[in-house]
A and B are shown apart, each in its own frame.
Chain A
Amino acid sequence: MSLLIKGGRVIDPATNTDEIMDILLEGEKIKKIAKEINFSADQVLEVSGKIVSPGLIDMHTHLREPGREDEETIQSGTYAAIRGGFTTICCMPNTNPPIDDPLVAKFIYERGKRKGVIEVLPIGAISKRREGKELSEMGKMWKAGVVAFSDDGNWVQNTHLMRRALEYAKMFNLPLISHCEDKTLTQDGVMNEGYFSTILGLRGMPKEAEEIAIFRDITLSKMTGSPLHIAHLSCAGSVRLVKEAKEKGIKVSAEVTPHHFTLTEKEVTSFDTNTKINPPLRREEDLRVLKQGLRDGTIEVIATDHAPHSPEEKSRDYVKAPFGIIGLETALSLVIRELVEKNILSLTQALAKLTINPARILKIDRGRIKEGTKANLVIFDLNKSWVVRKENFLSRSSNSPFIGWRLPGVVEYTIFEGKIVYRNPNSCRKQHK
């Protein structure tokens, strides 16, 4: 089976390529990349005017299997992913049971292979039951295929345990991912602490809780020499801490989510529970510094923190509703809208943060367009736009604050291991006419 992709604008951030080229796929792999390929392939995609990029990688996804399959399964999560142009997603361990032992890790890995339409890579918990008391069996989970370790929403409050986890992970050369939040400071807060939490009477989560946690983890990373990846930076102080650490040569990397660089705390005045996110939406000033951090390279990854929740739970009142929103299907478009169109990043720089950069941090051979490697690609149209509609989500959940927004950038094809796993249904209809 061969597939020829003709006339697209090929962007490969890993090699700083941005040219009109043809790509020939054979089987699972990229056979040839050249200016003009004349070959009678089994299938030809004429994609002139469209962007051809390495398939996107999300290193921060929540799938709800096992435990809450009504909200998202491994399979439905991969459907949402392909609509957003992703070909690799890494799922966080806060399932029920959690990914804190090799059996669950193996279950996710194999279920992803069998039921998923793209690649699902599990992230193992740092501690048993994500309780922050005892180390999980990191080695056995590594053998079962996890690509990083994280206790996700539970920051490892015990400094000693975090030190030992960083040290122990060296055996596998895998990064620890830290959701930096000192919960003794955020307590039962539900939004950013500041003017809006004051007038709304909602409990605040001070940005200092994130900064304190980041400072500690960076210090431990320096002490142990182990790589540390900081999940979803949300405030200006965090960006500065990471920048300083990098300048000192500490092995730290960081991500930001599209919603944290798009929305501010002001959105909470609607009392829409789809604005309840952890870390919380912050101030205009924080958004400015996050974008600056993206531009100067302090933040090298954009990740979704895709967090599906049932409508029953999200329709509870603001205090009782769970934190989190879905993000796989809107991420690329928000990156284009907020970063590329506003000239914060070039398209190549933006795609690097969604492809080769996360691949490098996770040490997986993905995120590039290279002859002989697996053919994971996304083809999208920068000049088209779409309207986010609740009923069109391929995720099982629809908890998004972007419903009703018109967004630029439409994914036309997602190709995984040489096969077209997604095609834009609207474009297909047009072709038939």
Chain B
Amino acid sequence: MDFKRKDLLGLEDLTRDEIFFILDTAKSFEGILNRRIKKVPILRGKTVVNLFFEASTRTRMSFELAEKRLNIDVLNFSPSNSSVLKGESLRDTIKNILAMRVDCFVLRHSTPGTPHFLAKEIPVSIINAGDGAHEHPTQALLDLYTIREAKGKIEDLRVLIVGDIAHSRVARSNIWGLTKLRAKVRVCGPPTLIPPMIEQMGVKSYFSLEEALQGVDVIMMLRLQRERQTKGLFPSINEYRDFFSLSEEKLKLAKEDALIMHPGPVNWGVELPFKIRENRRNVILGQVTNGIIIRMAILYLLLGRRR
């Protein structure tokens, strides 16, 4: 098939075939990470700007490494040492960098839709590295990749996402991706963190973790942001842990070979007990490794071929 998109903005508008094509492309890059020299110069001479308006360690480093593996020239931007502090608007920042003739922006921003409206205005590629609570497509793609590698398929699997669904871009992108690939998706959390009408996205929602865990193949735990407590969304971390932490005991309710995933960074001792670190079903670090080849695949598909 042909992948003709200019941008990667979200999983909502990708087709099932496009998602599989991205996963297959990533698979073909897998060997590179284990080589002695980890570089394939297929995008030599291309320039990518990583624009992160929100804090990020994993995603930013993963993109940068993916870019360097492909021999891309990389520019990193963070608002703390830039003219954004002088009040320059996002559009102006982008248009100024664009005037330097770059090929692609990797953008993280706290407001939903920011990469979407910029993509309409500029001729070069935009990769959404997270826009508020809206989408985080590369994370969802690496999650799908990780599940497929471990389970051999995605269709018909029962996948449970647990935690702050309301504020999670990871949850939204995964819901789009998983439902397109015909997995059976459940979400679970306190009602204050489950957004209205989430079931219209084709998932089933649960308030009891015990019920939700019955017979699942994959468990995705989300990070609990402590500041939600002050907004009146739940009473205390202690109480949250009581109801929604994945204890060893609760874990027994899932299938014996259920995968344990987390987009990171983990609040150990809150959503996941410390002991899960040693659990052999925990694939959290594998997700991080897969993130690089997924991002290499995206960069290659957007920049490496003629549109």
* Interface 0/1 of A181-197, CB less than 8 Å to B: 00000000000011101
Evaluate whether A195 and B197 lie within 8 angstroms (CB atoms) in the complex, with A317-B114, A318-B113, A319-B111 already known.
yes
Identify the stretch in A199-207, A240-248, A295-303 within 8 Å (CB) of chain B at 4 or more residues: A199-207
A198 touching B112, Cβ below 8 Å: no
The CA-CA distance from A101 to B184 in the complex, in Å, is 62
Evaluate whether A194 and B89 lie within 8 angstroms (CB atoms) in the complex, with A202-B112, A271-B117, A317-B109 already known.
no
A193 touching B112, Cβ below 8 Å: no
How many B residues face the partner with a CB closer than 8 A? 26
B135 touching A201, Cβ below 8 Å: yes
The CA-CA distance from A204 to B112 in the complex, in Å, is 13
The CA-CA distance from A253 to B167 in the complex, in Å, is 39
Evaluate whether A318 and B112 lie within 8 angstroms (CB atoms) in the complex, with A201-B132, A272-B117 already known.
yes
At the interface, yes or no: A288 with Cβ under 8 Å from chain B? no
Interface positions, chain A 145-201, Cβ under 8 Å from B, are 193-195, 197-201
A201 touching B196, Cβ below 8 Å: no
The CA-CA distance from A200 to B195 in the complex, in Å, is 11
What residue of chain A has the Cβ atom nearest to residue B53's Cβ?
Answer: A317
The residues of B that contact A316 with a CB separation of less than 8 Å are 89-90
B117 touching A198, Cβ below 8 Å: no
Q: In the complex, which range does the number of interface residues on chain A fall in?
A: 10 to 19
B133 touching A199, Cβ below 8 Å: no
The CA-CA distance from A200 to B111 in the complex, in Å, is 10
B113 touching A200, Cβ below 8 Å: yes
A201 touching B131, Cβ below 8 Å: yes
* Interface 0/1 of B179-199, CB less than 8 Å to A: 000000000000000011110
The residues of B that contact A202 with a CB separation of less than 8 Å are 112-113, 132-134
The residues of A that contact B91 with a CB separation of less than 8 Å are 315
* Interface 0/1 of A116-155, CB less than 8 Å to B: 0000000000000000000000000000000000000000
A201 touching B198, Cβ below 8 Å: no
B114 touching A199, Cβ below 8 Å: no
The CA-CA distance from A316 to B198 in the complex, in Å, is 28
The CA-CA distance from A202 to B195 in the complex, in Å, is 11
The residue from A194, A200, A272, A315 contacting B112, defined by CB atoms under 8 A apart: A200
B196 touching A319, Cβ below 8 Å: no
* Interface 0/1 of B150-186, CB less than 8 Å to A: 0000000000000000010100100000000000000
* CB of B173, distance to nearest CB on chain A (Å): 10
* CB of A201, distance to nearest CB on chain B (Å): 3
What residue of chain B has the Cβ atom nearest to residue A321's Cβ?
Answer: B111
Q: Which of B90, B113, B116 has the most CB of A within 10 A?
A: B113
A198 touching B201, Cβ below 8 Å: yes
* CB of A310, distance to nearest CB on chain B (Å): 12
The residues of B that contact A194 with a CB separation of less than 8 Å are 196-197
* Interface 0/1 of B124-137, CB less than 8 Å to A: 00000001111100
* CB of B22, distance to nearest CB on chain A (Å): 21
* CB of A207, distance to nearest CB on chain B (Å): 11
What residue of chain A has the Cβ atom nearest to residue B194's Cβ?
Answer: A198
* CB of A182, distance to nearest CB on chain B (Å): 15
Interface positions, chain B 69-124, Cβ under 8 Å from A, are 89-91, 109-114, 116-117
At the interface, yes or no: B12 with Cβ under 8 Å from chain A? yes
At the interface, yes or no: B200 with Cβ under 8 Å from chain A? yes
The residue from A195, A197, A204, A312 contacting B89, defined by CB atoms under 8 A apart: A312
Interface positions, chain B 180-236, Cβ under 8 Å from A, are 195-198, 200-201
* CB of B61, distance to nearest CB on chain A (Å): 24
Interface positions, chain A 199-235, Cβ under 8 Å from B, are 199-202, 204
A201 touching B112, Cβ below 8 Å: yes
A201 touching B134, Cβ below 8 Å: yes
At the interface, yes or no: A320 with Cβ under 8 Å from chain B? yes
The CA-CA distance from A312 to B133 in the complex, in Å, is 25
A317 touching B201, Cβ below 8 Å: no
The CA-CA distance from A310 to B184 in the complex, in Å, is 47
The residues of A that contact B117 with a CB separation of less than 8 Å are 271-272, 317
The CA-CA distance from A201 to B198 in the complex, in Å, is 11
* CB of B37, distance to nearest CB on chain A (Å): 41
* CB of A196, distance to nearest CB on chain B (Å): 9
The CA-CA distance from A194 to B111 in the complex, in Å, is 18
The CA-CA distance from A177 to B196 in the complex, in Å, is 31
What residue of chain A has the Cβ atom nearest to residue B131's Cβ?
Answer: A201
Evaluate whether A201 and B169 lie within 8 angstroms (CB atoms) in the complex, with A312-B89, A315-B89 already known.
yes
* CB of B166, distance to nearest CB on chain A (Å): 8
The residues of B that contact A320 with a CB separation of less than 8 Å are 111
The CA-CA distance from A198 to B134 in the complex, in Å, is 9
The residues of A that contact B133 with a CB separation of less than 8 Å are 201-202
What residue of chain B has the Cβ atom nearest to residue A204's Cβ?
Answer: B196
The residues of B that contact A312 with a CB separation of less than 8 Å are 89
A317 touching B172, Cβ below 8 Å: no
The residues of A that contact B113 with a CB separation of less than 8 Å are 200, 202, 271, 317-318
List the interface of chain B (C-beta within 8 A of A).
12, 89-91, 109-114, 116-117, 131-135, 167, 169, 172, 195-198, 200-201
30 residue pairs of the A-B complex, CB under 8 angstroms, read A194-B196, A194-B197, A195-B200, A198-B196, A198-B198, A198-B200, A199-B12, A199-B172, A199-B201, A200-B134, A201-B134, A201-B135, A201-B167, A201-B172, A202-B112, A202-B113, A202-B133, A202-B134, A204-B195, A204-B196, A271-B112, A271-B117, A312-B89, A317-B109, A317-B111, A317-B114, A317-B117, A318-B111, A318-B113, A319-B110
What 6 additional pairs, Cβ within 8 angstroms, besides A201-B169, A318-B111, A318-B113? A193-B196, A195-B197, A198-B196, A200-B113, A316-B90, A318-B112
Chain A to chain B: the 6 pairs with minimum beta-carbon distance, closest first:
A271-B113, A201-B133, A201-B134, A317-B111, A198-B195, A195-B197
List the interface of chain A (C-beta within 8 A of B).
193-195, 197-202, 204, 271-272, 312, 315-320
